[in-house]
Amino acid sequence: MASQLNETFKYLSFTRLVKLKMGALNIIRTALSDKRNATVAIVVTVLAGVLLSYFGFKWGDAIGALIVSFYIIFVAITTIRQASLVLVDGFNNPELVNYISSIIGKHPAVKLKDLKLRMTGPYIIGEVTLNVDSEMTVGKVHAMKNKIREDIMKNIKGVKDLTILAEPEGV
């Protein structure tokens, strides 16, 4: 049972580290609270099982162990989901995608065609494809791309690199 508790704490420490690197204070508080809540829940469950066994309920220890094992299975499934998303360079943050789309939408001369984001460690790397008017000069397109890139990089702390491609309308 001690090894199961150790694995649970390793997962919570890893989750806390990832959340700390993202830099949001409310997320940091949540991670600390998650670890504290998990510790309290596991200790209370183990103590309740031992006390039930001590007072004559023979299945108390087994029930406590089952509850802790279900919690560990839940943590393992969550870890596998998160790790598989990272391994396939997946990005699951629709709010951020919508926010970037709204930043691009403030520039009426362009239309968003495609937006691809992925995590690289604690940073976000992205590729944006824009549709531009085919009559725009190369200089204007380049200036517009730089302005959009600057706006996104300034407003979103975790974006480390952003490639912006421009295609003429109709392509």
pLDDT tens profile 75-98: 788 878 877 776 776 777 788 888
pLDDT digits (tens, 9 = 90+) for 93-145: 788 888 999 999 998 889 999 999 888 777 888 999 999 988 889 999 999 99
User: Which of 65, 87, 109 is the endpoint of a domain?
Assistant: 87
Same domain, yes or no: 109 and 145:
yes
Q: How many CB atoms lie within 10 A of CB 1?
A: 13
Identify whether residues 45 and 66 lie together within a single domain.
Answer: yes
User: What is the model's pLDDT at position 3?
Assistant: 53
CA quadruple 34, 40, 42, 45: dihedral sign: negative
- Would strands 123-132 and 159-168 be described as parallel, antiparallel, or unpaired? parallel
How many domains does one find in the chain? 2
Q: What tens digit of pLDDT does each residue of 47-72 get?
A: 888 888 888 888 887 888 888 888 88
- Of 67, 87, 107, the residue at which a domain comes to its end is 87
- Residues 19 and 82 both lie in one domain: yes
DSSP reduced 3-state for 136: coil
Q: Sign of the CA dihedral 121, 25, 75, 13? A: positive
Strand partners, 159: 124
- Note whether 7 and 78 are same-domain residues: yes
Q: Are residues 81 and 56 in the same domain?
A: yes
Residues 103 and 82 in one domain: no
Length of the chain (residues): 171
Tell me the CATH number at 139. 3.30.70.1350
Token readout for 28 is 């940091």
Cβ count within 10 A of residue 100: 24
Same domain, yes or no: 73 and 114: no
Residue 83 in tokens? 């790790």
Virtual CA dihedral for 142, 116, 23, 28, nearest 10 degrees?
160
Full residue range of the structural domain in which residue 35 is found:
2-87
Task: Measure the CA angle with vertex 113, ends 111 and 117; round to 5°.
Answer: 120
Domain boundary among 87, 115, 138: 87
116 and 77, same domain (yes or no): no
